Chain A
């Protein structure tokens, strides 16, 4: 409840009336955007949660294999064997636009061989460990994609919600109050002008009456 700092004139009131119309339209649009974002967000966050549980479980297994390999081979040998890996992972990134939020989409491009070591001094566990890690990896990238999307959507949702609330609970009521204030003020001015003229008229009439009485007398 606040009255904006404007002059109570008809001009200002017309301006405010135009403003309130666009504020209402903006509010409706933003509300629609919020609903759309929320729908998308719920989809994404459910998926993210499911994937995270999946990934955590599978990654745990991969790590276990790795630790086993490490225990069997010793760290120096393990590191030495992995040095020969020629694998290079690169990502292709595209961005998709969902309700003005930019959502990344990753595609992995891998080249080279991971298993590039001699089999004599390495244990079979290492092969298994690397295989399991390689299997989990696409899931990790998917998880990254979907979690980042969820994050971006959440950011935008928060912003949109603030804007909607600012319009709904602050701007529109303020504008309405101010318009009401101006129209009351204008009415008041009108009435005061009428009473003023009535008073002046009465004064003039009284003067006239007195003059007539004087001339009669």
Chain B
């Protein structure tokens, strides 16, 4: 069975705990750095030529400023899944907004209310 890795992108203090759980920590201080690391992680392949990472968690405060074009390119393939998580500062509502965007794309209007 194919084994994939997971990575988490965020500031140092937030991802410390996840590092302890065994995820690959990737430090980023602003969303520009975060986008760069996302592209880099997405490109990384194993010897077999498939993606190395299946899930890339990213802290919400870094994800809010990702440009739509970048996001579109990053999320185009089946793997990896890019999932925003609320940081220790609390939820910014970005995750729910993202779901709303997905619904709008699929249905044509926001029916989740």
A residues whose Cβ falls under 8 Å from a Cβ of B? 38, 41, 45, 48-49, 52-53, 55-56, 59-60, 62-64, 66-67, 70, 75, 78-79, 82, 85, 87-93, 95, 102, 104, 106, 109-110, 112, 114, 129-130, 133-134, 137, 140-141, 143-145, 147-148, 150-155, 157-158, 161
Give Cα A41–Cα B13 distance, bound, in whole angstroms.
36
Residue pair A104, B106 in contact (C-beta under 8 Å): no
Q: Closest residue to A94 on the B side, CB-wise?
A: B1
Q: Given A63-B87, A144-B83, A133 and B21 touching (CB < 8 A)?
A: yes
Residue pair A87, B21 in contact (C-beta under 8 Å): yes
B41 within 8 A of A: no
Main secondary structure on chain A at its contact with chain B? helix
With a cutoff of 8 Å between Cβ atoms, the chain B residues found around residue A91 in the complex are 3-6, 54-55
User: Can you name 18 extra interface pairs (CB under 8 A) apart from A48-B99, A110-B22, A140-B57?
Assistant: A49-B99, A60-B90, A62-B17, A63-B17, A66-B17, A85-B22, A91-B5, A92-B3, A102-B78, A109-B3, A133-B18, A134-B21, A140-B83, A140-B85, A144-B83, A151-B81, A154-B105, A155-B105
Residue pair B81, A87 in contact (C-beta under 8 Å): no
Q: How large is the interface on B (under 10, 10 to 19, 20 to 34, 35 or more residues)?
A: 35 or more
Residue pair A141, B55 in contact (C-beta under 8 Å): yes
With a cutoff of 8 Å between Cβ atoms, the chain A residues found around residue B108 in the complex are 161
B67 within 8 A of A: no
With a cutoff of 8 Å between Cβ atoms, the chain A residues found around residue B83 in the complex are 140, 143-144, 147-148
Give Cα A78–Cα B20 distance, bound, in whole angstroms.
11
Residue pair A90, B99 in contact (C-beta under 8 Å): no
Smallest CB separation, A183 vs chain B (Å): 37
List residues of B (1-37) whose CB comes within 8 Å of A's CBs: 1-6, 13-14, 16-23
